[in-house]
């Protein structure tokens, strides 16, 4: 795989998006451009909504939004996606507003990707001061690939609205990790986030002989469709067990607490998922210590243990992810491997020696195929910064004529 920079990614997407924006919107150039990255989580899975620890890093893969205020007299926002996103479409809607005192659900009419954007706009539009806009979305974060394409879109929307006037929307009660790292990512560092206190520690990723390799199973997950029920079910189980044992969150429980109440909990369906969360929180803080001490062997072992726990106790892996992890581990120079993100499809993340990268990729390519007959695709992950503005000259071009 090519190792591109975040800047190269947003420049490429911006060029494409400016052309399509001008083509669609009367040859006008956009005036604002922003980007926000996807993420890979190194360890700490399904811990965020239990108040635990996570260790994600922002990626070079980004979502960009370019736009401008709507022409005067227009009351609606107009939204398009760039052809390369593979989810092309057009959607027109009035600027959504979050009612102050009533329960509210985002208007889900229109394509699903628009719902994420509308939800963020509504939350930011409590005072009703956001004017309508025209915008285009382009992305290099694989959709439904477990690298936070939806959080990247939410973070980009947030940045876009902020820039113009200088969370998970489609009913998934997700945690804070993805949006947090997409906004706050740090170049050269993974972020160790305490999801209860929101304290953050930057953890340098600085061993040049090691590579973090992402393998996309190309079996798509979507937390917003069918799979969302599985995600929500697990979340409810965690909340119920914590409540039953008299605590706010599983973060407050130890393994001993849990084992002592083995009988009291709702059978294996409650205890096993909780055991994953409690042990994963511990593994994540151990992993940060290992990384800080330069003990990469240990870090790798913790990653692999995390996968087993997600597979056997939390039951969020799938055949494709297990196959990718097993194939990765089945060779020299691989320190650890695990599924990353919500699960049920998407990507794995593997820590390995640089010298072992080609042979590992070749081994996977030879034997891996998803249930839909897809091969895997690969990315090298280096920690990148969070959401930002695209330089004006790329967005509007010379003398406001746009980039052609």
CA distance 264 to 191: 36
Told to check if 320 binds ligand GAF by CB under 6 A, we report no
**Contact between 313 and ligand GAF per CB under 6 A:** no
Contacting residue, 175, 185, 224, 300, with ligand GAF by CB under 6 A: 175
Select the residue interacting with ligand GAF from 10, 21, 49, 379 (CB under 6 A): 49
- 76 in helix, strand or coil? strand
Among 178, 286, 293, 389, the one annotated catalytic: 178
Contact status, residue 38 vs residue 181, Cβ threshold 8 Å:
no
What is the size of the binding site for ligand GAF (CB under 6 A)? Answer: 11
Helices 267-293 and 227-244: crossing angle, nearest 10°? 90
Least distance (Å) between residue 68 CB and ligand GAF:
31
Q: What is the CA radius of gyration of the chain?
A: 21
Stretch in the footprint of ligand GAF (CB under 6 A) among 91-99, 133-141, 174-182, 383-391: 174-182
120 binds ligand GAF (CB under 6 A): no
Q: With binding defined as CB under 6 A, does residue 341 bind ligand GAF?
A: yes
SS3 content of the chain, % helix, strand, coil (to 5): 40, 20, 40
Q: Is residue 342 a contact residue for ligand GAF (CB under 6 A)?
A: yes
Comparing CB distances to ligand GAF, the nearer of 163 and 182 is 182
Question: What is the distance between the alpha carbons of residues 141 and 146, in angstroms, rounded to a whole number?
Answer: 9
* 312 catalytic per annotation: no
Q: Are strands 56-69 and 76-81 parallel, antiparallel or unpaired?
A: unpaired
Sheet of 133-139, strand order: 90-94, 76-81, 133-139, 56-69, 32-41, 388-389
CA–chain centroid gap for 328, Å, is 22
Task: Tell me which of 124, 152, 174, 193 binds ligand GAF, using CB under 6 A.
Answer: 174
48 near ligand GAF, rule: CB under 6 A: yes
Q: Please, which residue, 30 or 185, has the CB nearer to ligand GAF? A: 185
Instruction: Retrieve residue 165's tokens.
Output: 């006037």
Residue 43 or 356 with smaller CB distance to ligand GAF? 43
Q: Sketch the per residue contact string, 203 through 242, with ligand GAF: x for CB under 6 A, - otherwise.
A: --------------------x-------------------
Site membership for ligand GAF, residue 34 (CB under 6 A): no
Q: β-strands 133-139, 189-194: how paired? A: unpaired
Give Cα 317 to chain centroid, integer Å: 17
Interface residues toward ligand GAF, by CB under 6 A: 45-46, 48-49, 174-175, 177-178, 223, 341-342
Please identify every residue annotated as catalytic.
178
């Amino acid at each position: 795989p090519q190792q591109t920079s975040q800047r190269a990614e947003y420049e490429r997407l911006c060029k494409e998006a400016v052309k399509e924006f001008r083509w669609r919107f009367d040859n006008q150039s956009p005036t604002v451009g922003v980007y926000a990255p996807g993420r890979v989580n190194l360890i700490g899975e399904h811990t965020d909504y239990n108040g635990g620890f996570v260790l994600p890093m922002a990626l070079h893969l980004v979502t960009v939004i370019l736009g401008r205020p709507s022409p005067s007299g227009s009351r609606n926002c107009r939204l398009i996606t760039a052809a390369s996103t593979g989810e092309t479409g057009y959607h027109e809607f009035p600027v959504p507003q979050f009612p102050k005192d009533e329960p509210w659900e985002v208007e889900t009419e229109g394509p699903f990707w628009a719902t994420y954007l509308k939800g963020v706009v509504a939350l930011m539009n409590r005072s009703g001061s956001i004017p309508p806009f025209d915008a285009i979305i382009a992305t290099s974060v694989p959709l439904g690939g477990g690298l936070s394409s939806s959080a990247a879109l939410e973070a980009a929307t947030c940045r876009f609205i902020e820039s113009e006037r200088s969370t998970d929307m489609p009913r998934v009660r997700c945690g804070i990790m993805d949006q947090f790292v997409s906004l706050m990512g740090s170049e050269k560092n993974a972020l160790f986030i305490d999801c209860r206190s929101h304290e953050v520690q930057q953890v340098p990723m600085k061993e040049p002989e090691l590579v973090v390799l992402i393998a996309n199973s190309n079996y798509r997950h979507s937390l917003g469709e069918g799979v969302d029920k599985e995600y929500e079910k697990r979340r409810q189980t965690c909340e119920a067990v914590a409540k039953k044992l008299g605590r706010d969150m599983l973060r407050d429980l130890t393994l001993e607490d849990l084992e002592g109440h083995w009988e009291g909990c709702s059978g294996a369906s409650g205890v096993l998922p909780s055991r994953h969360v409690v042990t994963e929180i511990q593994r994540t803080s151990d992993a940060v210590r290992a990384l800080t001490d330069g003990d990469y062997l240990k870090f790798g072992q913790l990653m692999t243990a995390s996968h087993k726990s997600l597979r056997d106790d939390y039951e969020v892996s799938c055949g494709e992810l297990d196959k990718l992890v097993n194939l990765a581990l089945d060779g020299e120079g691989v320190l650890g491997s695990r599924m990353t993100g919500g699960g049920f499809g998407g990507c794995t993340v593997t820590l390995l020696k640089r010298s072992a990268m080609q042979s590992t990729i070749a081994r996977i390519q030879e034997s891996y195929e998803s249930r839909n007959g897809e091969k895997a695709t690969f990315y090298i992950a280096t920690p990148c910064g969070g959401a930002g503005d695209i330089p004006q000259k790329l967005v509007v071009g010379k003398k406001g004529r746009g980039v052609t």
